[in-house]
Every structure is written in C-alpha cells, then in structure tokens.
Structure 1
Amino acid sequence: MISGEEEARAFVAARCDGAALARLERLLAMLAAENTRQNLIAAASLSSVWQRHIADSAQLLDYVPRETTSWLDLGTGAGFPGLVIAAMRPGWDVTLVESRRRRVEWLTEAAEALELSTCSIEGRRLEDVAARPVGVISARAFAPLPKLIKLARRFSTSDTLWLLPKGRSAAQEVAELPKSLKTAFHVEQSATDADSGIVVGRIAEGQQR
C-alpha cells in the first residue's frame, strides 16, 4: 500500500519514462493554478495529489494488456484517470468524456499544453458520443455500476477491459449487479487507499445484450 507523496511519485515513475513524468509534473503545476479559478479537486487534496490523484490513476495501467491502444474515460472531470493515462502513454488513443463546459476547456488546454496529439476531448454527455469499440473503459465517480454499464456497453466488446475505481462501494456495487453480469466483474484492492477497490472485468459476448 502506497504511503505518502514520495512513495506515490516513485510508484508512478516506475510505470513511465522521464518524459512522461515531466508531463505529469507540468500537469500538476497547471492543475494547482487552475484550481484557484475553478474547483477541479478539493484544495485539501493538493498536498497529497500524487497519491490521491496521480498514482490512483496510474495504478490502472497494471491491469492493461501491452497491446492496448484505445481508452475511453467517462466523466473525466479534472482529468483523472484519463488525462494521467494520456500523459503516461502518449501514443495511445485516449478519449476523455466530460459534459461540463469549464472542465472541457481545462482538459482541452491541458492536452494541448502537454502535446498529447492522440488525446481527444468529447465535450458532451456520454449518450451523445458516437459508439465505437475501445480497448479500455474507465470511470471514476461517474455513476452507479449498473447505470454505468448500461450507458457505456455500446463501446464494449468481449475484449474490452473495464477499470472502474469505486472506493468503498466496489464490492457492494458488484454484488448488486444482475446475475447475468456478476460473473463478469471482480474487485481488486486499490494501491493508494486501504478502503478502496477497483472493479475490473470484461463482458463476454453472451452478456453484451
């Protein structure tokens, strides 16, 4: 379990190269400046931003196959986890879905400043985003699990990996899924918070309907 900012930064550094780490450092500087204009993250979390936000996002890479190239992040907000993933894997096609105008402006500015040419921002509700198959679907505090799956299933194939940080509610949300979906998902322990879990799974072809 990660304990403190130094451990969190080392955890992230072990999962990317120096250029990516420099992008993340710049992202954090931009985030701190923007947070004085709009409430992107709780001000109290700025002192633990590597653990609470950067490492918390980066840990998702531990579950992703090497051949993955496309990622869809739902309700990205301030950029977690999607913008962090894009900064760490600049060659991947990462799409950030966010409907709030000021957040969209921030995400667009950040992606351009970090020169993330394959990171795109969908500034609209998920229901209005054109469907396409993706390798990974992620969401952090986007919607309860049943609703999230219903909204995003049209982007999923049997090969799509779902990575859903769910905090303390992870196990309960999986338990409350319909029987046909329960076996598709399991809960992994978060590396950044002893009380948090990550819902991980794939929806098989017979479960897609």
Structure 2
Amino acid sequence: MVTIIDDEAAARDWLRATFDPTPAAWAGLERFAAMLVAENARQNLIAASTIPTLWVRHIADSAQLLAFDRDGDGLWLDLGSGPGLPGLVVAILSERPLMLVESRKRRCEFLRAVAEDLDLHHVEVVEARLEAVETRSAATISARAFAPLDKLIDLSARFSTESTRWLLPKGRNAVKELALLPRPWQSLFHVEQSRTDAESRILVGAGRLGGRIVPKKRG
C-alpha cells in the first residue's frame, strides 16, 4: 500500500529518502520553490491556495514521476510544462536531458530564468505548440494537466519509440480516461496510485504509439 504524503515535512522526508539529493540539488529545489512563489505573484502559475502545501502538491507530486523511471536515460519530453512541473523538478534531481515544451511566452521566460539561475544546462525550453515541434525520439514522455488522454496521445505519439516510458498524472479521471481508449491502447498502460493524493492516479505506460486514435464516445 502506498503511504500518502500529507504534509510539508513528510514531502521533504520522502524526497530525501527516495532520491538522497546532493546539497546542490536540495538547494536547487529550495530555490525553485522560492522562484515559483515569487513569480506566481506576477503570473498565475499555480493556484494560490496550494502555496502553503507547495512541497506536497507540486515538488513531491512532480518528483514521484521520476521515481517511476529512476533507471531511465535519454531525452525526457515534458509536454505543456507550464511552471516547470514536473520538468524542472526532474531536471534538478537528475542529469537526464529535458525538453520542456510550452507555448506561452511568459511561462517560457520563467522556465529559462530558472534553468539559467540553477545552471540546468541539460534543460531545453521550446516555446511552441507541440504540433510545431520537430519530431525526435523521447525516452520518457510526461504531461501534467496538458490535455485529455486521447488528444495527448494523438499529439505526442510521433515522439515515442518501442522503449518510450509514458508518465501521465491524470488525477481522479485516470481510469475513466483510460477506458475511453480502444483496448489495444489501453493495454500499454497501467494505473498507479499517486503518493500525494489518495484519490489521484498516474497512468504509466511503455512502448510506441502510432496512428490516430479514434476514442470511444464519452458518456
């Protein structure tokens, strides 16, 4: 049974136990958290109500995706990266090359500012809609609040290979969204419990997705 991380101290303890961050990585997480809160006063990056539980709702919530792919290597593609969740958290805790795709100019400016401030030279920020991004092979694809599952797959399938890892937080709708896909696509995924919300789930998949999906009708 997964133990739910339910307060800020527990989030920090879990991060230490799971990733054993170096002093530099830990300082990076602290700095990113501070920059996120400061920037949130200028543009709406996260809900203000989540700031008191930032380490649970955003830092640990993002880091848990890396925990599902600790042995992975190669390009990590983060779709609709927004404020860098999970992309910048993954970049701070690992040396994986990260490509953060975000179409909004001000959010891209923030992503670049954080990457420069923290010397995250393995982070590339791509300011474009995903449809306009040049195809390349991704070892891992993540997306947090990017699009409904069927649309997400349609847009990102061209980046996948036979060994691509899919890490898709889908909140309380994970099982419902997965059930809307044709059965061959459903079989590529399994559902994992979120460590930060007892009612949320994460879709974890592996493999190449190709061709346009015709989803089942929504009820």
Q: Which bin holds the TM-score, normalised by the shorter protein?
A: over 0.9
Q: Which of the numbers 88, 93, 96 marks the counterpart of 2:93?
A: 88
Shift of 1:63: 1.3
Alignment check: 8 A CA contact 2:72 2:139 kept: no
CA offsets per residue over residues 153-209 of structure 1, 9 Å max, x none?
0100010000000000001111111122010111100000001000010135xx534
Alignment check: 8 A CA contact 1:126 1:151 kept: yes
Question: 2:33 — aligned with what?
Answer: 28
Q: Which of the numbers 46, 58, 62 marks the counterpart of 1:41?
A: 46
Question: 1:52 — aligned with what?
Answer: 57
Q: Unaligned 5+ residue runs, structure 2?
A: 212-219
AA matched with 1:41: I
Question: 1:184 — aligned with what?
Answer: 188
CA offsets per residue over residues 50-97 of structure 1, 9 Å max, x none?
0000000001122115142320000011110011101111x2110000
What is the SS of the residue equivalent to 2:196?
Answer: coil
What is the SS of the residue equivalent to 1:121?
Answer: strand
What is the SS of the residue equivalent to 2:98?
Answer: strand
AA matched with 2:105: R
Question: 2:162 — aligned with what?
Answer: 158
Q: Unaligned 5+ residue runs, structure 1?
A: none
CA distance in 2, matches of 1:58, 1:175: 26
What is the SS of the residue equivalent to 1:104?
Answer: helix
CA distance in 1, matches of 2:92, 2:28: 6
Alignment check: 8 A CA contact 1:174 1:186 kept: no
Question: 2:217 — aligned with what?
Answer: none
Question: 1:208 — aligned with what?
Answer: 210
Segment drifting more, 177-186 vs 95-104: 177-186
The alignment's C-alpha RMSD in Å is: 1.1
Shift of 1:39: 1.0
Task: Return the TM-score normalized by structure 1.
Answer: 0.95
AA matched with 2:79: L
CA distance in 2, matches of 1:67, 1:84: 16
Structure 2 counterparts to residues 121-140 of structure 1, below 5 A = 121-140=125-144
Instruction: Count matched residues.
Output: 206
Question: 2:6 — aligned with what?
Answer: 3
Report percent identity of matched pairs.
52
Question: 2:111 — aligned with what?
Answer: 107
CA offsets per residue over residues 4-35 of structure 1, 9 Å max, x none?
00000111222132221110100011111111
Alignment check: 8 A CA contact 2:165 2:204 kept: yes
Task: Return the TM-score normalized by structure 2.
Answer: 0.91
- Could you list the structure 1 runs, at least 4 aligned residues long, displaced by more than 2 angstroms after superposition: none
What is the SS of the residue equivalent to 1:2?
Answer: coil
AA matched with 1:178: P
CA distance in 2, matches of 1:171, 1:157: 24
What is the SS of the residue equivalent to 1:166?
Answer: strand
Alignment check: 8 A CA contact 1:2 1:191 kept: yes
